[in-house]
Structure 1
Amino acid sequence: MPRPVWSGAISFGLVTIPIKVLPATENHSISFHQYHLEDMSRVRTRKICDLDGKQLTNAEIGKGYEVSKDTIVAVTDAELDEMPLPTAKAIEIAAFVPYESVDPIRMGEGYYLQADGQVAAKPYMLLCKALERNSKAAVAKFAWHGRERLGLLRVQDGVILLHAMKWDDEVRDPQELVPKAVEVSDEEIDRAVLLIDSMTADGIADQDWATDRYTEALEQVIRAKVGGKKPPKPDEEEAPAGKVLDLMAALQESVSKAQAARGETGKDATVHELPKKRAAKKTTGKKTATKKATAKKTAAGKKTAAGKKTAVGKKTTAKKRGA
């Protein structure tokens, strides 16, 4: 496991749990150095003093706040650590909320919280089990890197996980990005839902597509150049035909491809062919003609029935009179 990046305590109510904070993720991206193209010598970033031009080490550099052009107030790390802030050494839980109520756009980096010592083990596990039982997450405040931050505590695999979160004013309002009024038919929505269903997976982990293809391709380029070979060229893919004019046809083809990729063919496939427009027109015409013929037949039937009823009525009346 990596080294702790912060140590303090979780505080809720009168309960205090000493913890250590460890990064929950790691970066596997390939990093580059900067080089001078002419002679491939390393290009470095140096910190130089403006007054005497001397190169400085990190030990010689401190923090300062510019009050005015000629006035700078120096602030030491010790002064920052001793600020009268409740969250300076504690992750202070403010409330508990349903985990589903938290917008994922507000969640940032994840950190594992480790119980610091045997004394912290029982209250740590108590909080962990309580969060699991009622499916809640804890909203907390903590101070890191020169600012107070909002956080979310949740449980994963028996460990409490802390997510740094954005404040309300740090999330931009997306309303101006919503497309203007566009008509979407129920049939198009149904076909899009069918496409989503055909591409639905059980989770993100252990999927064929859950790999970083960019890093893999970059590693191939580096290996080729180390071996004195030319970097591999990309496979030629069929160029897109252009703008999609028929949205329904595009959805239909996408569903077919997704189901074929899953091996859903023949009886397993649930895709139905779209009705052809010309056939629809002819069918409509036949239906209309049938309706008219039915209407005439019904009208004729009504007249005949009415005539019979009238005749019968006359005969009955005649018999009564004769009697």
Structure 2
Amino acid sequence: MDYKLGEFVRFVDEKREGYITRIFNDEMIGVTGDDDFEIPVLASKVTRVHGHVYDSTSAQGNAAERTAPAATFETKGIHLAVVPDQRKGSVVYFYLVNNTSFQLLLTLVTEKTKELRGEFAGIVNPGTATQVFTASLSELDMWPSFHLQVLYFTTQNISLPSPLLITEKFRAKDFAGTKKRVAQIKQDGWIIQLDQEEVKVDPEKLKESFFKPAEEKKEIAKPSREIDLHIEKLRDDFQFLSKSEILKIQLEHFKKSLDAAIVHKLPSIIFIHGVGNGTLRIELHKRLGKHPHVKTFMDARKEKFGYGATEVLLK
């Protein structure tokens, strides 16, 4: 069987059609129609409907490398975007998004129960996105581990970064944040940056910095269960601050409070960020998603905060 998630099929023996939303095994698939009801069916009992197969080529752009002047050459900006199918939300598509000025040579190998499988090998041009994998979000616990390798290439006189070697096993918390627009494919998805430096926190050094002798530094008190990040709660002169200054102050207070919660071994902490334009919320979720001491995070008590607060569960 060579069917894939997201393909549009029609039943052979009855007037029914829909999208493949589950692959049980080599012989059985799940098809969801307009009634949003998934029906198990033998793969031999359906046929493809041409013209409905999901098209991933439109986001790939021109095959030739796009060049950029050395003065504007972007060396960072490799992302993995996980985009839900607009027709059937249980199916998600993985894109490698290249916002650098390099041409990228990419391979993706998955691993499940110690079995390896090559999924994709190809070139991702600057400013484009290429679909590399498909899965069902409802079966996240059964997803394989991802092994990504990325090589950089350019014809310009630019120093090449070291190859990226990334192994990732996705968890539910990776999809707890807000979806953002993926410009190359004009859809919203969860975006994970692959080429940013990993944040490393040493708990022992963190303790030392918080509990130095009194003449060196005051002892930091145990943080409150709820931390209000509204700028008027942090600064009296907030009317005279620019937007960038406000965001910097809020993020510094967030980091200090999160570090204190880790040192004091709190099970959880709530950050009140408000709704606003969503900038602060997105920045918090971006940092929490990669933090090694964060178990997961979620919207905090909607009946009290609406969508204006995030609860963080710590390891």
TM-score range (shorter-chain normalised) is under 0.3
Q: Name the one with the larger helix percent.
A: 1
Larger gyration radius, structure 1 or structure 2: 1
